[in-house]
Structure formats: C-alpha cells, structure tokens
Amino acid sequence: MVWRASVLTIFPEMFPGPLGSSLAGKALASGLWSLEISDIRDFASDKHRSVDDTPAGGGAGMVMKPDVLARAIDATASDTRPRLLLSPRGLPLTQARVEALCGGPGAILVCGRFEGIDERVIAARSLEEVSIGDYVLSGGEIAAMALIDACVRLLPGVMGAPHSAAEESFAEGLLEYPQYTRPQLWEGRPIPEILLSGDHAKIAAWRRAAAERLTRERRPDLWTAFLQRFRGGSRDT
C-alpha cells in the first residue's frame, strides 16, 4: 500500500499545486504515494453550500461549522491514518514527526480557514493540531503541502541518493554545512582549499566543524539539544 494523503479543504483547486512538480510530483505520477482531495463544501446542507457561520459570543470573522466538517471527515476512508488539523495553535512540526508520519500509512489533513473551526469537531473526530511555525497563514492548505512534501521526499525511491536525506539538516540535529561548485574562483571568492584537496577525512572534519559552527551561531536552541544528545552534557559553548 502506498503512502496516502487525504486533504480536506474548501480550496480543492489549490492541489496538487507545488506537489505536482519536482520530486513529489514525479513520485506522485509514478505511484509512490497518492493524493486524494476532498471539497468540504460538498458536504454542506443548504442551497448556498455554507461551510461557516458567525462566532458564538460575537466578534469578527467566521467559524467553520462542525456538522459540515464532520460529514467531510466521515466520508474520508476510515483507517489507521492520523487525522491532523493544520493550525498555528498546534504542536510544532519537527523532522522527527515527519519521519514518524512517513513511516506510517499516510495522513488525513484537515485545512482550517476563517477564524478557526468549531472546537467540538476537533474533539469529536480526534483531530490533532499541527503547526508548521510561529506565524499565521491565511489557511492550512500551504501548511498541508509543506507537511506532505517533507514526508514524501523521505519515502523509499523518491530521493535520488538514499543517503542524502540522512546527512542533511536536522536528521543529526545540526544545520547543513556550506556547499560549493565550479568555478573555483567566482567574483574574487575562492572555494575553501581543503574541499579541493581530495583528502576525504579532512573534508569530512571541515564539514562537521562548519555545521557545528553554523548551528551554534544561528540556532542556539538546536545546539543545546545537540550537545545534550551527543555529549551527554549541557555546555553552552
């Protein structure tokens, strides 16, 4: 069974969007994963196909109706896939979570819109809220695409070189080291000499040191976690 993504949205025309190009698109076309889009509006019950209503208690904006969204969820294949609601209120998505999702059967992704969705449907359908970062998008669609892209590229057969996913940022808890390619001298800037030395041990040590320095400078949070994980200490240097 291939990895299956089911997306529930009021903007079905946004999909596959970028997921139809590049690595994810090729893998989709060759059947390494599947994408099913469900239009929440198809489950409205009035002639205007309403999916939202005014917030209880007053205030600006609109709230997605629980009955319509629940019908859309219930019409999606009931299986063991996690049901995720993309929301800035959710637990932050991490590479570890992406790896876990990628190793499972797929995901059912509910895209929120408006000022939010009725809280009761989150509990009644066990939706787990997931955020892709501390900023607010206009809806969950782009977040769902980001999550799917991050999972799909880890599926066996999707990436060209099988080791390249494991070597890069976050897999080990470090940011990626700098890369260079020809020309050797560009706008007065040379490629670091060691990378042209052919000495693979020295090159690996240089890359490792560069990755550690970048992580320490840019992401002290990751650096502290890295030190704790790999050195069993909490030195902050």
Q: Provide the binding-site residues for ligand ADE, judged by CB under 6 A.
A: 86-88, 112, 131-133, 135-137, 139-140, 143
Q: Considering beta carbons, is residue 32 or 55 the nearer one to ligand ADE?
A: 55
Comparing CB distances to ligand ADE, the nearer of 126 and 135 is 135
Compute the least distance from the CB of residue 140 to ligand ADE, in Å. Answer: 4
Which residue's Cβ has the minimum distance to ligand ADE?
Answer: 143
Please state the closest distance from residue 217 (CB atom) to ligand ADE, in A. 25
Q: Which one-letter amino acid corresponds to residue 185? A: L
CA-CA distance, 180 to 191, in Å (whole number)?
A: 6
Nearest distance, CB of residue 183 and ligand ADE, angstroms:
40
Rounded Cα distance, 230 and 236, in Å:
13
Which is closer to ligand ADE, CB of 140 or CB of 173?
Answer: 140
Instruction: Record the tokens describing residue 25, joined without a space.
Output: 């698109």
- To ligand ADE, the closest distance from the beta carbon of 118 in angstroms equals 16
CA separation for the pair 223, 175 (Å, rounded): 9
Secondary structure of 141-205 in HEC code, one letter for each residue = HHHHHHHHHHHHCCCCCCCCCCCHHHHCCCCCCCCCCCCCCCCCEECCEECCHHHHCCCHHHHHH
Q: Which is nearer to ligand ADE, 106 or 112 (CB)?
A: 112
